[in-house]
Structure 1
Amino acid sequence: MFATFWIGFAWVFRMLQSAILGYYDLIIVTALITNGAYVYQRIKNYWKASQSNVNRHENGALHGKHVIITGGSSGIGKCFAMEVARRGANITIVGRDNERLKLAYDEIIQHCKNRKDQKIECLSLDVSRSAIAVATAFADHETRLGQCYMLVNCAGNAVCGKIEDTAEMTLKHMLDVNLVGSYNCVKAIVPGMKTAKEGKIVLVGSQASLLGIYGYSAYCASKFAVRGLAESLSMELKPYNVSVTLALPPDTDTPGFAVEQESKPLETKLISESASLVQPEVVAQQMYKDAMAEKFFSIVGVESFILTTLCSGMSPYSSLYELLLQAQFMGPLKLISAFYRYHFDNIINRCAKERESQKKVE
């Protein structure tokens, strides 16, 4: 990942050096880069200190608290459930498949901090079908496990394909699962959080919440919408001491990713190979840390750092240092992004030429 970053940086810098900048301009650019490195180091030190502070105070923060996790029977959701089980939380895992829920329950229960006191329950429910059904089911579990303190929306679906190859029902299904399901769950727990004046909401988006990618037209539409939902909720709920975190995981080694691979066009596969595959445990641990620190973005890897910095725009910032970091690097990273776009366009053009050549041969 770092090699890709620095290759891109060197390419852009050389292009600017030869085509645009003179001697004095290069001195100015060098000074800006040096200053940027200094600011980055200062902010990195602050981030480490803030993480240490979070780690000192998070012990016991979830003890006896109720955490509801959709998509909790596998992948990131199951790993997140294990993460909060170690910290004494009561957990409701939500999914559609009873058998998978039972298997996940057996794994999660092994990670409980105090198995005698903690409560772990399964809820078989399609959260995209009915807001009333979701609210009723959640309320039932809250009577036994307590008021929902943290909602984690991990339920998601991804089907790849060019727009002309994507059926209308496929688009509707992804919008239902990725957007409507999250919306229904949030709507169900927000009144209680407002009354309690505390709570945490984690919405799982994707790098595709920030970047349109070949073969992901329907998926990106649903995940861009999740970002809009998260930003609006952050503004609505801030007066009530309810934080919102938008997780933007890269390609993650989950059962859902394996299914997604089956429908990917060649171009999409080659573009995706530009980044490495991340384990769900890593994503879940980072999501937990960022949610407890009340950060808006939760990211893993340098590509996600580049994307969130470039696309931060009017998004909430979690601290003054984060704001300064975004302001310092948004411009230079735009140049780095040009390398990525150039690389992606080359892949698409090469595949198109190969396809045309095959047609001529046939």
Structure 2
Amino acid sequence: MHVIVTGGSSGIGLEVSRLYASRGARVTLIARDRPKLEVARDDLLVTAKSAPDDIQIASADVGDEAAIRDAVQQAESRLGPCDVLIACAGIVEPAVFEDLSSERFNEQIRINLLGTVNAVRSVYTGMKHRGQGRIMIVSSGAGLIGIHGYSAYCASKAALTGFAEALAQEGQAHGITVGICFPPDTQTPQLERELPKRPIEAQRLMGKAGAWSAEAVARKIVRAIDRRSGKLYFGFSLAALGLFGGVIKPVLFWWYRRRA
């Protein structure tokens, strides 16, 4: 089994890669920062059941369609066709809309939405020709509800739901399973960078629930891929938003306005 993970140099992507390497899978990590990728690969090799040559890295910006296509082609030439893609690469830059430059807004759309599309496009045709494949798109709990100070991030992550649902309909006739998951705050380097910028208004809406560990999130993602699940929510609150958001969100926003 060849597993390709974008955003694989740290956080959820790295922990998902670790789980597959512990099973002896062939794993390719893709991210922008090659030095971080090299550290991640060395980290995986400590506990991996995979052979050293079966854990590869490729430096590419998922927002660059040609770059991610070339990275996937090189990965498949080394380790064989991609059986599982986990599209985990993403960025977040919280700021109220009027303070968020168009460059910073567009960058989140480019990486989070179009970067996911580019990664999927790089493996989809091959999966279709082989009649099998699994794709897991990593969205966010912020893709389920609008949050003060996260207009770009919420837009980019919410759009992934429509993409995943449509692609799942197209892929099912060709043996391709497409899933999407909505992780909560997760203990990652990215969260450490985000929290000092998080507006107090966002914190009021999101509550004080502690962040999940990247390992716990990764375990649930891998189980969902094993089960070919279409959607994966984390915890009661996000499951309620995902399943009954049309009823819950008007009440939640009413409560938030009164509190604010």
The TM-score with structure 1 as length reference comes to 0.69
- The residue identity in structure 2 corresponding to 1:85 is A
C-alpha distance in 1 between matches for 2:149 and 2:71: 36
What does residue 78 of structure 1 align with? 14
C-alpha distance in 1 between matches for 2:51 and 2:175: 30
Q: 3-state SS of the aligned residue for 1:211?
A: coil
Match of 1:163 among 97, 120, 135: 97
Match of 1:302 among 236, 248, 254: 236
Structure with greater proportional strand content = 2
Q: 3-state SS of the aligned residue for 1:179?
A: helix
Q: What are structure 2's unaligned runs of at least 5 residues?
A: none
C-alpha distance in 2 between matches for 1:160 and 1:74: 20
C-alpha distance in 2 between matches for 1:136 and 1:258: 31
Tell me, yes or no, if the aligned pair for 1:67 and 1:149 is still in contact at 8 Å.
Answer: yes
1:127 equivalent to 2:127? Answer no
Q: 3-state SS of the aligned residue for 2:212?
A: coil
1:345 equivalent to 2:227? Answer no
Match runs of 1:1-362 below 5 Å: 65-115=1-51, 119-129=54-64, 131-311=65-245, 334=247, 340-347=252-259, 349=260
Tell me, yes or no, if the aligned pair for 1:286 and 1:299 is still in contact at 8 Å.
Answer: no
Tell me, yes or no, if the aligned pair for 2:145 and 2:249 is still in contact at 8 Å.
Answer: no
C-alpha distance in 2 between matches for 1:152 and 1:297: 14
Tell me, yes or no, if the aligned pair for 1:152 and 1:202 is still in contact at 8 Å.
Answer: yes
C-alpha displacement at 1:108, in angstroms? Answer: 1.1
C-alpha distance in 2 between matches for 1:340 and 1:279: 26
- The residue identity in structure 2 corresponding to 1:109 is L
- The residue identity in structure 1 corresponding to 2:27 is I
C-alpha distance in 2 between matches for 1:179 and 1:169: 15
Q: 3-state SS of the aligned residue for 1:110?
A: helix
Q: 3-state SS of the aligned residue for 2:94?
A: coil
1:245–1:111 CA distance, 2 compared to 1 (3 A): farther
The TM-score with structure 2 as length reference comes to 0.95
- The residue identity in structure 2 corresponding to 1:164 is E
- The residue identity in structure 2 corresponding to 1:89 is A
Tell me, yes or no, if the aligned pair for 2:25 and 2:50 is still in contact at 8 Å.
Answer: no
Q: 3-state SS of the aligned residue for 2:104?
A: helix
C-alpha displacement at 1:259, in angstroms? Answer: 1.2
- The residue identity in structure 1 corresponding to 2:175 is N
Structure whose alpha-carbon radius of gyration is higher: 1
- Once superposed, what is the RMSD of the aligned Cα atoms? 1.6
- The residue identity in structure 2 corresponding to 1:183 is V
